[in-house]
Amino acid sequence: MDFATSLAVAASGMRTQSERMKVIAENIANASSTSPVPGGDPYRRKIATVTSSFDRELGATLVESGKTIADKSEFRSQYDPGNPNADKQGYVKLPNVDPLVEIMDMREAQRSYEADLTVMDSTKQMLARTVDLLSK
């Protein structure tokens, strides 16, 4: 694998993990929101997907962000009879977002991003050493 291919593969991974972190951040930001209308559903957790495709020009498989899908798990409910969004029994629907799961997912995305960054740094160092050797 040549230097350009290594850089392209790592860059595609970094872009994908960055998009994944944006989706996770949106989930965290909406973790305790309620429906904007009484009786409506609150924010539904989103799940980032990743797809891969073979780039014939580079001769390598690259990753990219796929469609963001909605998590179909049940909403949480909390007893809060004074809330304007409460149902007849006094329960309010809350998003199906678990902040701990989101933080773990974000940490995983961050580690993957850092691994891709390390590949880019190593490739740049090898490229610089190669240029140094060739110029002597």
Name beta bridge partners: 64: 51
pLDDT at 68: 97
pLDDT at 84: 87
18 is in which domain, residue-wise?
A: 3-134
User: How many beta carbons lie within 10 A of that of residue 25, not counting itself?
Assistant: 12
H/E run at residue 122: helix 99-134
Place of tokens 């701990």: 100
Taking 70 as the pLDDT cut, the residues of the chain under it are 1
pLDDT at 87: 87
Q: Give the chain's count of helices (H) and strands (E).
A: 2, 6
User: How many beta carbons lie within 10 A of that of residue 44, not counting itself?
Assistant: 15
pLDDT at 36: 82
**How confident is the model over 21-45, as pLDDT tens digits?**
999 999 999 999 998 887 789 999 9
Reading the block at residue 99, the tokens are: 């902040």
pLDDT at 1: 63
Phi and psi, residue 53, nearest 5°? -145, 145
H/E run at residue 81: none
pLDDT at 107: 98
The tally of domains found in the chain comes to 1
